[in-house]
Chain A
Amino acid sequence: MKDTKVMFRFYTIPEYVKEQDFLCDQHKKGWAFRRVYFPGLYVFSRCEGEDVVYQLDYNQEGRAEKQAYLRLFEDCGWEYIQDFFGYSYFRKPAAQMQGKEEIYCDDGSRLAMIERVFKGRMIPLLVLFFLVIIPQLVLHGSGMRSANQFFFGLFSGLFFVYIVIFIQFGLQYWNMRKRLR
Chain B
Amino acid sequence: MDSHIRKVYVPMTETGFYILLCLQKPMHGYAIVQKVDSLTDGVVRIGAGTLYGSLSKMEKDGLIRFVDEQDKRKIYQITELGSDVLALEKKRIERMCRNLEEVGQ
Contacts and interface: CB of A to CB of B under 8 A. Distances in A.
Nearest to B15: A106
Indicate the size class of the contact surface on chain A: 20 to 34
The 10 closest A-B pairs by CB, nearest first: A103-B49, A75-B30, A105-B47, A109-B50, A76-B48, A71-B72, A72-B29, A104-B49, A73-B48, A103-B47
B48 A72 contact: yes
Interface in A91-106: 98, 101-106
Contact of B50 (A61, A67, A104): A104
A106 B49 contact: no
A68 interface: yes
Contacts of A154: none
B74 A109 contact: no
Q: Is the interface of B mostly helix, strand, loop or mixed?
A: helix
Interface of B: 13-15, 29-30, 33, 42, 45-54, 56-57, 69, 71-74
Contacts of A71: 71-73
A72 B42 contact: no
A78 interface: yes
A105 B29 CA distance: 15
B104 to A, nearest CB: 25
Given A71-B73, A75-B29, A109-B15, 12 more contacts: A59-B52, A62-B52, A68-B73, A72-B29, A75-B73, A78-B48, A98-B45, A103-B47, A103-B49, A109-B49, A109-B53, A112-B53
B75 to A, nearest CB: 10
A105 B69 contact: no
Contacts of B50: 103-106, 109
Interface string A50-71: 0000010101011000011101
Contacts of B51: 72
